[in-house]
Amino acid sequence: MSPEEWTYLVVLLISIPIGFLFKKAGPGLKRWGAAAVGLGLTLFTCGPHTLHSLVTILGTWALIQAQPCSCHALALAWTFSYLLFFRALSLLGLPTPTPFTNAVQLLLTLKLVSLASEVQDLHVAQRKEMASGFSKGPPLGLLPDVPSLMETLSYSYCYVGIMTGPFFRYRTYLDWLEQPFPGAVPSLRPLLRRAWPAPLFGLLFLLSSHLFPLEAVREDAFYARPLPARLFYMIPVFFAFRMRFYVAWIAAECGCIAAGFGAYPVAAKARAGGGPTLQCPPPSSPETAASLEYDYETIRNIDCYNTDFCVTVREGMRYWNMTVQWWLAQYIYKSAPARSYVLRSAWTMLLSAYWHGLHPGYYLSFLTIPLCLAAERQLESALRWRLGPGGQKAWDWVHWFLKMRAYDYMSMGFVLLSLRDTLRYWASVYFCVHVLALAALGLGLALGRGGPGRRKSGAPAPSPASGKLREE
């Protein structure tokens, strides 16, 4: 592990006991105490580069005050433009920010765009209410008022998820501050239930990264190996990549759980990133609060089992970095300048790559996803329904295997980063996933799509969480 990875791990681990300290505190202590801790961590890890986050916050707040009815698009343009400036600092001869500054900037971009959208929704609702002449009561998830500058700063620098996520909306943050009877919200048992696989994942990460180091792929000797060895190598590389993020995101979720952050009654049917989807009245007494069943779906960032064992590429995306996937779907996919599912997915993946950074490997990997999505969708609708029950079950196993190999292949661009290294590796395995996806897409187009009834009967076998995916 690099020094930066050790720092991330320490930050994640200390957030757990800090969370228990803040859980039962009052709204004021929660707001300013959590902001003080977050700002302290930012100053400690970023130093003078903390100025970048402050400039981004002040710029977004100014846009919200100036144009509250259209601030969402303005905030998106401002924060994404600042990301470009932020990443071009070395080209401009300015000091290069630390990796921690980049992490803070990434999460802050998501939070500020979401905040602007929530403020815009509030103003639209207020205008409709004034036009109709009567109030229907506050819609689900609507803010009570526009946050002040200090409230915006406290949300932006809240220590929860400040470097690793999960992303959360301002409404979720407010619900935590105003949580009725926080002592009745369970923390310890859900935390232990969530944390238990993390040590195992950590050991698997250390073992796989030691046995199959990424640096080997950058050496000339690697390309003298036989083709099967080169093909196989991407599997443990992506395995180590997954284990690393599983540990980080589970630890980040545990920090939230310790503080009771993102806890809602199960009846509210909360979604990762978005929060409750059903109105659920707050409990009127500690006894009522204690009798409720809670979950932490709002801050759930990874579903390890379904990431590995869901059948399709599309499902795999939804179970990985779940709060950020919600943000992308809500603020990018829905407003994409195209109607086609594949084109909207390509637009979303392009902006996701830009959000991650300017390294060519991000773009090569993310823009391979729409091709895989189009191929699996076309081939399923054209061929799967023609098979019997046994054939469909075999199809799903083959589909799962190919899905995992596609993610193995795409992950190489994500970890190698440079154009030369990524294309060199992909060329050494003959661009196999691109070729296979194009062949599958061509076969699907040649066979044509099945009838509506047949396509329904031939739908892919659902994974354990497919019901929740349909709800989302």
Question: What would the pLDDT profile of 127-170 be if each residue is shown by its tens digit?
Answer: 877 777 665 666 778 898 999 999 999 999 999 999 998 999 99
pLDDT of residue 470: 41
**Percentage with pLDDT > 70 across the chain:** 93
Q: Which is more confidently placed, 91 or 420?
A: 420
Question: What would the pLDDT profile of 300-352 be if each residue is shown by its tens digit?
Answer: 999 999 999 999 999 999 999 999 999 999 999 998 888 888 899 999 999 99
Instruction: Output the six-digit token pair for 180.
Output: 């009725």
3-state SS assignment for residue 355: helix
d(Cα 433, Cα 410) in Å, to the nearest integer?
9
Most confident of 1-5, 361-365, 380-384: 361-365
Q: How many helices (H) and strands (E) does the chain have?
A: 22, 2
C-beta separation of 365 from 411 below 8 A: yes
**Count of CA atoms in the C-beta half-sphere (13 A) of 210:** 7
Which residues share a beta bridge with 265? 294
pLDDT of residue 469: 41
**CB under 8 Å, gap of 24 or more: what pairs does 151-155 form?**
151/31, 152/57, 152/60, 152/61, 152/64, 152/115, 153/35, 153/57, 154/31, 154/32, 154/34, 154/35, 155/111, 155/115
3-state SS assignment for residue 230: helix
pLDDT surpasses 60 at 372: yes
Residue 35 CA to chain centroid, in angstroms? 22
Q: What is the mean pLDDT of residues 452-464?
A: 45
Instruction: Output the six-digit token pair for 360.
Output: 């060519």
Q: Which is more confidently placed, 92 or 131?
A: 92
Q: What is the mean pLDDT of residues 57-83?
A: 95
Q: Any idea which residue has 């200090």 for tokens?
A: 150
| Beta-carbon count within 10 A of 348 CB | 23
pLDDT surpasses 50 at 265: yes
Q: What is the mean pLDDT of residues 404-418?
A: 96
Instruction: Output the six-digit token pair for 336.
Output: 């994409």
C-beta separation of 325 from 357 below 8 A: no
**Count of CA atoms in the C-beta half-sphere (13 A) of 337:** 2
pLDDT surpasses 70 at 454: no
pLDDT of residue 134: 60
Residues with Cβ < 8 Å from 102, sequence gap 6 or more? 86, 357
Could you tell me the pLDDT band of residue 441, with boundaries at 50, 70 and 90? very high
**CB under 8 Å, gap of 24 or more: what pairs does 461-466 form?**
461/311, 461/392, 461/393, 461/396, 463/306, 463/309, 463/310, 463/311, 463/315, 464/305, 464/306, 465/303, 465/306, 465/310, 465/319, 466/315
Residues with Cβ < 8 Å from 305, sequence gap 6 or more? 464
pLDDT of residue 209: 95
pLDDT of residue 468: 44
Q: What is the mean pLDDT of residues 280-287?
A: 87
**Percentage with pLDDT > 90 across the chain:** 76
3-state SS assignment for residue 294: strand
